[in-house]
């Protein structure tokens, strides 16, 4: 019985997050992405998680930028790309996300100088575009 109640509540929460997310609310977009990534209240769907993380990241939400960076680092429903992962970790770190800063340091250890320079350039361009259409 308890599992049924949790599932029902999860679906109800998902419904409200979806309504807010579809209206452009960044935190709801992020939380909906987390729900899809974890299969909580919705079927697990990493493609949907990436979609909602990206929308929230484009609004400057550091947690979404971090999660999107993680998806690129691991190649989850996107092409694995350390340069793009570094860019998102860099942006999230600039917003105070300490885990993103740490992940960026780890990535730096396996990237070439040229890749790091490219990632930093992409970070600056993304900031100029106010996070829109960054990758």
For the chain, how many helices (H) and strands (E)? 7, 0
**Coil vs helix vs strand at 109:** coil
For 6-30, give the DSSP string.
HHHHHHHHHHHHHHHHHTT-HHHHH
Q: Give me the torsion for CA of 25, 43, 47, 20, rounded to 10°.
A: -10
**pTM score of the predicted model:** 0.90
Contact present, 95 and 77 (Cβ < 8 Å)? no
Low-confidence ranges of the chain (pLDDT < 70): 1-9
Q: Give the pLDDT confidence score for residue 5 in this predicted structure.
A: 31
What pLDDT shows up at residue 2?
34
Per-residue pLDDT at 3: 36
Q: How far is CA 61 from the centre of its chain?
A: 9
């Amino acid at each position: 019985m308890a599992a049924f109640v949790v599932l029902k509540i999860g679906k109800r929460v998902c419904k409200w997050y979806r309504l807010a997310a579809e209206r452009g609310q960044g935190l709801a977009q992020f939380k909906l992405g987390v729900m899809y990534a974890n299969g909580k209240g919705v079927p697990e769907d990493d493609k949907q998680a990436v979609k909602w993380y990206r929308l929230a990241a484009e609004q400057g939400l550091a947690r979404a930028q971090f999660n999107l960076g993680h998806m690129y680092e691991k190649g989850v429903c996107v092409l694995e790309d350390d340069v793009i992962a570094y860019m998102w970790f860099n942006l999230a770190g600039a917003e105070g996300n300490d885990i993103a800063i740490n992940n960026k340091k780890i990535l730096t250890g396996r990237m070439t100088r040229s890749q790091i320079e490219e990632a930093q350039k992409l970070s600056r361009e993304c900031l100029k575009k106010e996070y829109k259409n960054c990758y």
